[in-house]
Amino acid sequence: MSTDFFTSQDNARKQTGRLVFFFVTGVIATMVSLWAVLAFALSTRIGAQAWSDPRIAIGVFLGVGGVVTVVTLFKLSQLSQGGEKIAQMLGGRRIPPTTFDPGERQLLNIVEEMSIASGVPVPPVYVMEDRSINAFAAGPDPSRSVIGVTRGLMDNLSRDEIQGVIAHEYSHIFHGDTRINARTTAVIAGIMAVGIIGWVMFRHIGPTVARSSGRGKNNPGPAIGLGVIVLGLAIWGIGSLGMLFGRLIQAAISRQREFLADAAAVQYTRNPDGIAGALAKIRDHYSGRLESPAASELNHFLFATSLNTLFATHPPIDERIKRLSAMGAVKTAAADAATGAPAPRPRAARADASQRMPQTAGLAAVGLAGTLEPETIALAHDWVGRLPRELTSAAHRADGARAICYLIARDPDASADADALVASTDPDAAAAYRSLAELVARQSSVGQLALADLAAPALADLGRPGYSRFRATLGQVMRSDKRIDLREWALTKSLERHVERRFVEGPSPAHSTIAEMEQQACIVLAIIAVTQHDASVNADAYRRGVAHLGLQRMTLPSASELTLDSLNEAVRRLSKCRYIERERLLEACALTAMADGTATDTEVLVVRSVADALDVPVPALTAS
């Protein structure tokens, strides 16, 4: 199984403890230093009692603690809104899904293919009009992440090199690095706040007070201004200690993760020359320095460091290229050898997907959760390339995206009511709805869900009010045939994860276990067991899944318990489980679906929809 994703998601939450340690250490050091300076200054006037006066310590601790806490919480609230905020701070412009710019279109195609291949919602893509070569991924979770690149990256890298860089950024998304980076930024802002206040007092407030208090022999303005300047200088000097801790946090958190993301990019694409070539171009021909005022604060988000300092957040590019050459980056190693750089000996090749994953097709999709493989990328590339142009174009437009979802929910055997509903309720989408009906119907149920994933960014662009109107109409279309089937349920779970989570602030808590939710797990397994299986296999299929989870309820629940409402409630509660528990549940789902030795499209659809409900990215097309 692909345990990297599940363990990384849980570890990303635990990483907060390490940040808290650095944070508290930096704040305490700042408090103690400022208290010592104030106590020393006051002791020259009131004597040694200044050192033992608790009011001084309490005042300093409350003042510093209040400033740091307010700034940290404000920044954390700001960044928890989604990756768009980071993109805007770096000067990014959103690339519209309908763009005709060749470079932007190629970049969006790469991102869409990787999202379809991994099951991660297609992220908004931003471009920064900067000649350097750089990129970033940002967002509190995979459903609310964005990817950004510089214009220099699009103009100067080949498709393989761009794909390598984007694969590196997807690794950060998979492994929770984007969440850690956002929290790191908030912690750094809080720790550095005291020093910034001191600098403002020293550089601006003090001189302003000294100049603006009028003239006269008894004018206290200059003396007050000088006092503010001296106090500001002292606070700024002490706050520099906080700045030091802030930079240490950036460096400590980021460096090793960059090596891991480079290695993951090679694993995902099996083309080490792609990402190595991008790094070589940054080293030899172009700069990675981003001309943005926020680059220093957000340096740990970037693909390549924008600063060359003692506390650099990225390993040296030469070291990164050496490691990639050891993984098989032939072109870059040859170029370095030609210029006198030693070519490292290649390491043994990694085990490929067939060696790492279970051999059954039904388990393969779950085994690929939270990762990428060259085969799934190639499959997504081929699938997108074979889509009729009308469907691809429609998926990128708001009216076409809505029409596609209506058509997926439409029952071909009872379509008159649905057709009338769309025509009267959403006339803007009605024309696309009529023209695309046959093309959508030709797609398999798995392919239709992948098409909905492709349309998700256009639906998210509707905003909350527009999207709410669309969902109301979609609900009417689903109910027009007097039933909600598993295909329609799968569409709602896909929309919830790929679109609606972008409108929700903050990830849901994840601390429960399967043992605490035995009833809900059994309902999910039972519904998969009775889907598309012969009655003689149902009980055995159900027991297989239950046994894998170590649960005791071996008797298949009654039909009255197995409704879509109960399934909805079950997956809602199970989404509170830790990620490692979600992995076990998805394994049990796949084993249940494969009880008769095969996995139908409907069974795979249900398993993937459970994964969507649990916020686990599973490839859309492995069963096609």
* Averaged pLDDT of the chain: 82
The DSSP code sequence of 550-610 is: T-S--SPPPGGG--HHHHHHHHHHHTTB-HHHHHHHHHHHHHHHTTTS---HHHHHHHHHH
Q: Give the residue, 384 or 344, on which the prediction is more confident.
A: 384
pLDDT at 225 over 90: no
pLDDT at 342 over 60: no
Q: Which of 169, 373, 587, 603 is catalytic?
A: 169
Query: Residue 569: its pLDDT value, please?
Result: 93
Helix orientation angle between 601-613 and 445-460, rounded to the nearest 10 degrees: 30
Beta-bridge mates of residue 577: 512
pLDDT confidence bin for 432, thresholds 50/70/90 = very high
pLDDT at 333 over 80: no
Query: Residue 302: its pLDDT value, please?
Result: 87
pLDDT in tens, 160-174: 999 999 999 998 888
Query: Of 338-352, 355-369, 501-515, where does mean pLDDT reach its minimum?
Result: 338-352
Q: How confident is the model over 39-60, as a mean pLDDT?
A: 82
Structure tokens at 185: 């930024």
Count of residues in the chain:
624
Domains of the chain by residue range:
1-336, 361-367+509-613, 387-503
Query: Residue 2: its pLDDT value, please?
Result: 43
Q: Give the residue, 511 or 386, on which the prediction is more confident.
A: 386
pLDDT in tens, 439-475: 999 998 889 999 999 999 999 999 999 999 999 999 9
Angle at 559 between CA 555 and CA 560, to 5 degrees: 115
Q: Give the residue, 438 or 482, on which the prediction is more confident.
A: 438
> In what order do the strands lie in the sheet containing 93-94?
93-94, 125-128, 146-150, 135-138
Q: Give the residue, 61 or 307, on which the prediction is more confident.
A: 61
pLDDT at 499 over 70: yes
Query: Residue 332: its pLDDT value, please?
Result: 61
Mention every residue, 6+ apart, whose C-beta is less than 8 A from residue 160. Answer: 269, 271, 273, 274, 277
CA distances from 385 to 303, 391, 452, 494, 600 (A): 29, 11, 16, 22, 24
Distance of CA 221 to the CA centre of its chain: 52
Q: Give the residue, 564 or 184, on which the prediction is more confident.
A: 564
Give the C-alpha separation, 466 to 429, whole Å.
13
CA distances from 27 to 84, 91, 310 (A): 29, 31, 22
Residue 512 — φ and ψ, nearest 5°?
Answer: -85, 170
Mention every residue, 6+ apart, whose C-beta is less than 8 A from residue 554. Answer: 543, 546
Judged by DSSP in three states, 540 sits in helix
Structure tokens at 20: 């808290």
pLDDT confidence bin for 351, thresholds 50/70/90 = very low
Question: Amino acid identity of 115?
Answer: S
Structure tokens at 476: 């009417």
Q: In angstroms, how far is the first alpha carbon of the chain from the final one?
A: 21
Query: Residue 13: its pLDDT value, please?
Result: 53
pLDDT confidence bin for 421, thresholds 50/70/90 = very high
Query: Residue 274: its pLDDT value, please?
Result: 92
pLDDT > 90: what percent of the chain? 33
pLDDT > 70: what percent of the chain? 85
Distance of CA 129 to the CA centre of its chain: 23
pLDDT confidence bin for 353, thresholds 50/70/90 = very low
Q: Which of 417, 329, 24 lies closest to 191 in space, CA to CA?
A: 24
Query: Residue 16: its pLDDT value, please?
Result: 57
Q: Give the residue, 26 or 54, on which the prediction is more confident.
A: 54
169 is catalytic: yes
| Contact predicate 557/523, CB 8 Å | yes
Q: Determine which helix (DSSP H) or strand (DSSP E) holds 149, and give its type and residue range.
A: strand 146-150
pLDDT at 108 over 80: yes
Q: Give the residue, 446 or 600, on which the prediction is more confident.
A: 446
> Looking at beta carbons, which pairs linking 491-496 to residues 24 or more positions away fall under 8 Å?
491/405, 491/408, 491/409, 491/449, 491/452, 493/571, 493/609, 493/610, 493/612, 493/613, 494/449, 494/452, 494/453, 494/456, 494/609, 494/612, 495/405, 495/452, 495/456, 495/459, 495/471, 496/612, 496/613
Q: How confident is the model over 532-554, as a mean pLDDT?
A: 85
Query: Residue 356: its pLDDT value, please?
Result: 36
Give the C-alpha separation, 395 to 383, whole Å.
14
Query: Residue 147: its pLDDT value, please?
Result: 96
Query: Of 85-89, 336-340, 466-470, 555-559, where does mean pLDDT reach its minimum?
Result: 336-340
Give the C-alpha separation, 324 to 332, whole Å.
9
